Amino acid sequence: METVTLNNGTKMPLVGFGVFEIKKSECKQVVLNALKAGYRLIDTAQAYDNEEEVGMALQETDVPREDIFLTTKVWVTEHSYNKARASILESMKKLKTNYLDLVLIHQPLGDYYSAYHAMEDLYKEGKIKAIGISNFSAERMADITAFNEIKPVINQVETHLFFQQNFLHQWMNKIGIQHEAWGPLSQRRIVEIMKNHDVKEIADKHHKTPVQIALRFNIQRGIVVIPKSMKLERMKENIDIFDFALTEEEMNTIRKLDENKSMWAGYDNPEIVQMAMS
């Protein structure tokens, strides 16, 4: 597995496995399958309500804990110093680990500055190996970077063929923050990727699938991706993207698919607050 080096020197796999919307009853086995398929980055969150099941999988797997890069995220209801600190320690209990590789502020809402200060202190104590943010606009990302002691290592944001986040990506590179993509297969629009003529043509040239082309496009941009699948064969397919490279012409063809529009909500849309608190 290829890795990227974060701004604090920590190495992180370029491809990981996300557990968003995986049911508690299925999560343990799905994570075990992902580890069996070769994934070493597992991404969960307090809001996903499956940290305990991820922890069970980590206990049962033969893969050593030190070989697994484990991420969780602090939810908006925990955005005070004391609540954030307590919630992260609780996440560690649920995940059955004495340290976390990466903790993110899940949304830039509420008193997230206080939550970030709690993360900074846990980082200094060695309980967290790296800290970062998620769903931050370029302006919010620049702000939290400028006015805190420890720079975020990651900004995890929606990124896929139809929303390539070019402006935000440029600012991540400028500030020195790693771009990580959630929804790298565009979730419900994955069928459009699979049926797109240009993507299919590129896939055929490389003897790959359109899904593999979509993932390769982003890792070739230096973006960490965390696709999800419930099926072992699809898990294997999603990680089998390191034995070929897209040409610049092919990259340019795929760049034309960008609609520069979120599937979820614009980062400046006040309805995000209502959705986060519902």
Which positions are annotated as active-site residues? 48
CA atoms within 13 A on the CB side of 103: 29
Q: Using CA atoms, how far apart are residues 247 and 250, in angstroms rounded to an integer? A: 5
| Residue whose tokens read 């209990």 | 93
Element (H, E) at 103: strand 102-105
> Would you give the DSSP letter of residue 176?
T
Checking 116-124 for CB contacts under 8 A at 24+ apart, the result is 116/84, 116/144, 116/148, 117/81, 117/148, 118/81, 118/82, 118/84, 118/85, 118/88, 119/74, 119/84, 119/88, 120/148, 120/149, 120/150, 121/85, 122/85, 122/88, 123/150
CA quadruple 5, 36, 128, 218: dihedral positive or negative? positive
